[in-house]
Amino acid sequence: MNDCQAAREQLLDAMRGRLAERQRAHFAAHLEGCSECRKLFEREQALEHALEQRPRFALPDRLRQKLAAQVAGAGAGEGAATRVGASARRKRFGRWAAVIVPSLAAALLAVMLVRGVGAPSQPLIDEAINDHLRVLYAERPIEVESGGIHQVKPWFAGKLDFAPVLDFSGDEEFPLQGGAIALFVDRKAATFVFKHRLHVASLFVFRSQGLNWPTRTDRAIGKLSGLSAAERGYNVLLWQDRDLGYALVSDMDPKALARLAQKLTER
């Protein structure tokens, strides 16, 4: 394992103070001499800070009081159970479970509804949103300023183990801001940053082999098939083209994001 791989595996432990003194010194020395790992570390710190600032939602008072009353009643029943035989205790426990388990299930459902949590999301969608947050909160999200796609794409040469395929140079509706290197799951990705009015859109291009790619598609993106999702206030489009994967993320209107994706896939 080389120093860069070791440093990336230690990112979270370093941010949360879980490294031993010797490891911490080695990690700091590596960041001092490796600008790429230092930028990844700064982006992870920015994402961690952003997640800490997200709003927290409490359980509704009425539901909390109802659960407290049911638990107290169950406790009283449990106290009485000590004065009867084992068979009676089992019966009471069954009645207690019949009351409290559905209530706890209802409480969990209520929390999920309050927080806006639905079915388990696709891992790649979560990764795309997290990487977009890194772009939004990084101090310097763009490593190469845009002078058009033919200036940005050559910048990636030697920094990636693949050549990102993209021809769209941006236009008046979606100007290209520039590019950067990102870490998508366990591999490097090319990041292209576009603007749409006050909205930022991140396009991540990465090797798709070995990833748990969604099995379903629900949207045509040019001549390709893709997957759309809306989570945490962001809209995501995922698609594959040969051996490359593409993830487009923004808080812009879904129709506007679809127009950008259409332009990105035109050849």
Length of the chain: 267
Q: Do 166 and 79 share a structural domain?
A: no
> Total domain count for the chain?
3
Q: Do 216 and 134 share a structural domain?
A: yes
Q: How far apart are CA 186 and CA 212, in angstroms?
A: 12
pLDDT given for residue 143 in this prediction: 85
pTM for the full predicted model? 0.60
pLDDT given for residue 109 in this prediction: 46
Residue with tokens 């949207």: 219
Q: What is the pLDDT of residues 48-100, one digit of tens each?
A: 665 555 555 555 667 667 767 776 665 555 555 455 455 555 555 555 455 55
Question: Binning pLDDT at 50, 70 and 90, where does residue 249 land?
Answer: very high
Q: Do 159 and 101 share a structural domain?
A: no
Contact yes or no for 251/205 (Cβ under 8 A): no
Q: Do 139 and 194 share a structural domain?
A: yes
Residues 53-68 as b/e (b if ≥16 CB within 10 A, e otherwise) read eeeeeeeeeeeeeebe
Q: Name, in order, each residue with C-beta under 8 angstroms of 174's C-beta and a sequence gap of 6 or more.
A: 194, 195, 196, 201, 259, 260, 263
Q: Do 127 and 106 share a structural domain?
A: no
Q: Do 98 and 30 share a structural domain?
A: no
Environment class of 260 (CB within 10 Å of its CB; exposed 0-12, middle 13-18, buried 19+): buried
Q: How far apart are CA 1 and CA 125, in angstroms?
A: 29
Q: What is the pLDDT of residues 211-232, one digit of tens each?
A: 888 777 888 888 888 899 998 8
Q: Do 40 and 78 share a structural domain?
A: no
Q: Do 258 and 195 share a structural domain?
A: yes
Q: Do 250 and 142 share a structural domain?
A: yes
Domain of 33? Answer: 3-52
Q: Do 202 and 81 share a structural domain?
A: no
Q: Do 236 and 165 share a structural domain?
A: yes
